[in-house]
Structure 1
Amino acid sequence: NRREEALDLGELYSTGFDVFPLSAEHGRGVDELLDAVAARLPEAAGEQPAEEDKTIHLAVLGRPNVGKSTLLNRLLGEERFVASASPGTTRDAVDEELVWKGRRYLLTDTAGLRKKRQVVDKVEVSSAQRALRTVERADVVVVLTDATQLGVDQDARIAAQAEERGRAVILAVNKWDLVRDKEGEAQRLREQAQRHLQHVGFAPLLFISALEGTRVHQILELAAELRDEASTRIPTPQLNEWVQAMQEEHPAPLFRGFPVRFSYAYQVGTQPVTIAIQCNRPQAVDDAYRRFLVNRLRERFELRVPVRLIFRQKSRSTPRGSAGAGR
């Protein structure tokens, strides 16, 4: 461990190449090297990426009667989804394709989601389950709410379902045409979102009118941008520069009197963006510091999508201060 910590890899990192400190004899660092190799393997010979891989899957979720079907009809430019003033009109997830500005979209209308204690009909329970399953195959989830009947708690639960599954989120406040003091109401809603939707505080917030078409196509623009952000690959040298800067500016709290050090960072996945960080004491990184790093990572690389951090033991030897940790 002392030898590893004494290594000065600054010159190697500065070349712009990925650097993997390892010991073939003891197996140290080999797992990290294999992960990086697997992430960069090319497509098998003769295989072409499926066309649907380029399709942006956009699902619209929200409480009953917030205007989901009306919004999708407006985006499509025709009445393809059944829209009604009566809540519960949509019972199943319904898909429609759209090509807009050269990008292909698959738009999904879903059943309205009410609080669990309000759902007693078995058909509605099944519809809600199918609506949530659409999140699994979506790239971007629009959480649609009603400017005249806010349901902050339920909207927060719906947004949490999307974020937990690593999906990009757009918060859209519909029926904006019915709001009189638009500037004052917009400020109030932004403050509410900061208080009650902290787990998706990175998500864009739009004020729209599906009925009049106000700003509805910004949803498509944002969906394309967020899909691209969620699919981004961050160069390893830039990640390591960021990790070292975080250690210097705001180091992790001590663990039983011992420092927590990060030695290397690299990306292991997309949708959501997933970063692995080699660490001498992974168990010492608490939730608060993890959230701090995620927020700073989003700021540094301008991401408005979910991010996951994985902390891995940098070697197979046991660091000081961790003995008996599992007792």
Structure 2
Amino acid sequence: MILFLVDARDGLLPDDKELAKRLKKISNKKIILVANKADKPSVRKDIAEFNKLGLGEPVPVSAATGSGTGDLLDIVTSYIKEEGFKVKAPKKEKDKNEYINVSILGKPNVGKSSLLNKLSGEEKQIVSHIAHTTREPNDTFITWKEKNIRLLDTAGMHKQGFKNVKNKKEREALERLSVNKSLATLKNADVALLVIDITKDLTQQESKIAEAIMKNKCSIIIVANKWDAVTDRDTKHYTLEINRRFPYATWAPIQFVSAKTGEKVKKLKDLIIEVEENRHIELNDNALNKFLKQAMKRVSPIKSKGTKKPYIHEFSQTQVTPPKFKVRIGAKDTLDESYVRYLENQLRRKFGFFGAPITIYVEKNKRIHGKHEEKENKS
């Protein structure tokens, strides 16, 4: 929802027209036109000219006196109820010992330890050009914008790690230990930072790390490190390349940073808080019912087996943190996996879930075999 504020005293300005033109291009947002400084009857009479913007009837208010703000609030709350906007699931008050758990993952020498140093503002880790300098996971505790964050540093995963260890059995044991410790932090993590070296090509090893993050249902941020070493700085180009490599995680935010200079590290902290909060999004039944109707109207369910298209009886949220949804169909129906992915994409487009994993599972109703039988049961 966007509240477009105009000055009732100044009247319709060229800048208002230009901004209104841009706002009309945003198709998925409700725009409410608000005429401020309308504290006199003479001014209120003149606000009709704002109808020319094509954004509906302007709502007259006065921020100085509070006049009209009650009407504006009624309009806003009415729309929220109608659309069933996403809400944060009520959470218990966090005590001082509760943290957002963040796992830092990536290949050797992508800058995990340097990033940890910048995030924490301390030089606790040993940084070296030799792979696997930091072998043991270390928890670092920080507070950012009144949020407590625990950073879980890992030794990194690499199939050719620990080259300096000559004994084969010892080397393999250390490699297994390193991988196990990395995966162990994922099991306890709310957010995973996948650190990559943006100056080098992405590898299969990084794809495997990404898959492990997805499997553990962590929120994910792809951290493109060593941005200071890039000359062209074309974020659009690099974003496309990263999404091409991780097509199953295009919903993950990508933050370009420099652990060396500290560039955009503060922004990364903000992202950690944001994606963790998105794990708690809860949608009410009204929102999901309306969403399902719109999604099915846009694209009908795809049949997988049999001769008829499946009929979806219910789409509901069954879990929060992370969000989980159920699609209920008839016992004899089947729903193609591509349609489940379509529903996920539409969910993200409609409600956000920025950086948060979503699970959608299909459940068959044992009593209802399809749309026609549902009608028969009602009769």
- Aligned with 1:267 (options 307, 311, 317): 317
Determine whether 1:280 maps to 2:324: no
Report the alpha carbon displacement of residue 152 of structure 1 after superposing the two structures with TM.
3.3
TM-aligned CA distance change 1:278 to 1:75, over 3 Å? same
Opposite residue 109 of structure 1, the aligned amino acid is D
- Aligned with 1:69 (options 90, 98, 113): 113
Opposite residue 191 of structure 2, the aligned amino acid is V
Superposed CA offset, 1:6-33 (max 9, x none): xxxxxxxxx98x9xxxxxxxxxxxxxxx
TM-aligned CA distance change 1:117 to 1:104, over 3 Å? closer
Instruction: Provide the rounded CA distance (Å) in 2 between the counterparts of 1:296 and 1:95.
Output: 37
Is 1:56–1:104's contact at 8 Å kept on the other side of the alignment? yes
Q: What does 1:151-162 align with in structure 2 at a 5 Å threshold? A: 151-162=202-213
Instruction: Provide the rounded CA distance (Å) in 2 between the counterparts of 1:204 and 1:283.
Output: 36
Residue in 2 aligned with 1:86?
A: 130
> What's the secondary structure of 1:214's corresponding residue?
coil
Q: What does 1:1-327 align with in structure 2 at a 5 Å threshold? A: 51=95, 54-115=98-159, 120-183=171-234, 186-254=235-303, 255-281=305-331, 284-304=334-354, 305-319=356-370
Superposed CA offset, 1:119-142 (max 9, x none): 853112211111111111111100
Superposed CA offset, 1:14-56 (max 9, x none): x98x9xxxxxxxxxxxxxxxxxxxxx9x99xxxx766378521
Of stretches 51-60 and 217-226 in structure 1, the one that deviates more from structure 2 is 51-60
Report the alpha carbon displacement of residue 93 of structure 1 after superposing the two structures with TM.
1.7
Instruction: Provide the rounded CA distance (Å) in 2 between the counterparts of 1:106 and 1:56.
Output: 6
TM-aligned CA distance change 1:93 to 1:300, over 3 Å? same
Is 2:126–2:134's contact at 8 Å kept on the other side of the alignment? yes
Is 2:331–2:366's contact at 8 Å kept on the other side of the alignment? no
**Structure 2 alignment gaps of length 5 or more:** 1-80, 164-170, 373-379
Superposed CA offset, 1:184-214 (max 9, x none): xx33322212221011110011111001000
TM-aligned CA distance change 1:201 to 1:225, over 3 Å? same
TM-score (norm 2): 0.67
Instruction: Provide the rounded CA distance (Å) in 2 between the counterparts of 1:283 and 1:89.
Output: 55
Instruction: Provide the rounded CA distance (Å) in 2 between the counterparts of 1:274 and 1:149.
Output: 36
When the two chains are superposed, the root-mean-square deviation of aligned CA atoms in Å is: 2.7
Report the number of matched residues.
278
TM-aligned CA distance change 1:271 to 1:282, over 3 Å? farther
Is 1:58–1:105's contact at 8 Å kept on the other side of the alignment? yes
Q: Larger C-alpha radius of gyration, 1 or 2?
A: 2
Instruction: Provide the rounded CA distance (Å) in 2 between the counterparts of 1:53 and 1:107.
Output: 14
Is 2:311–2:333's contact at 8 Å kept on the other side of the alignment? no
> What's the secondary structure of 1:210's corresponding residue?
coil
Is 2:131–2:162's contact at 8 Å kept on the other side of the alignment? no
Report the alpha carbon displacement of residue 61 of structure 1 after superposing the two structures with TM.
0.1
Instruction: Provide the rounded CA distance (Å) in 2 between the counterparts of 1:115 and 1:284.
Output: 40
TM-aligned CA distance change 1:286 to 1:49, over 3 Å? same
Residue in 1 aligned with 2:37?
A: none
Instruction: Provide the rounded CA distance (Å) in 1 between the counterparts of 2:281 and 2:332.
Output: 25
> Larger relative CO (CA 8 A, sep 6+): 1 or 2?
1
> What's the secondary structure of 1:91's corresponding residue?
coil
Opposite residue 349 of structure 2, the aligned amino acid is E
Instruction: Provide the rounded CA distance (Å) in 2 between the counterparts of 1:53 and 1:259.
Output: 51
Instruction: Provide the rounded CA distance (Å) in 2 between the counterparts of 1:189 and 1:240.
Output: 38
Opposite residue 136 of structure 2, the aligned amino acid is D
TM-aligned CA distance change 1:57 to 1:282, over 3 Å? farther
Superposed CA offset, 1:46-92 (max 9, x none): xx766378521111100001111111111111112222221101212
Instruction: Provide the rounded CA distance (Å) in 1 between the counterparts of 2:123 and 2:230.
Output: 25
TM-aligned CA distance change 1:149 to 1:105, over 3 Å? same
Report the alpha carbon displacement of residue 320 of structure 1 after superposing the two structures with TM.
9.3
Instruction: Provide the rounded CA distance (Å) in 1 between the counterparts of 2:272 and 2:371.
Output: 47
Instruction: Provide the rounded CA distance (Å) in 2 between the counterparts of 1:257 and 1:53.
Output: 57
TM-score (norm 1): 0.78
Report the alpha carbon displacement of residue 148 of structure 1 after superposing the two structures with TM.
2.4
Is 1:167–1:271's contact at 8 Å kept on the other side of the alignment? no
Identity %: 26
Of stretches 78-87 and 210-219 in structure 1, the one that deviates more from structure 2 is 78-87
Is 1:275–1:309's contact at 8 Å kept on the other side of the alignment? yes
**Structure 1 alignment gaps of length 5 or more:** 1-14, 19-39, 322-327
Instruction: Provide the rounded CA distance (Å) in 1 between the counterparts of 2:97 and 2:292.
Output: 32
Opposite residue 87 of structure 1, the aligned amino acid is A
Instruction: Provide the rounded CA distance (Å) in 2 between the counterparts of 1:320 and 1:267.
Output: 22
Instruction: Provide the rounded CA distance (Å) in 1 between the counterparts of 2:332 and 2:195.
Output: 38
Superposed CA offset, 1:287-316 (max 9, x none): 211111111111111112211112222343
Opposite residue 249 of structure 1, the aligned amino acid is R
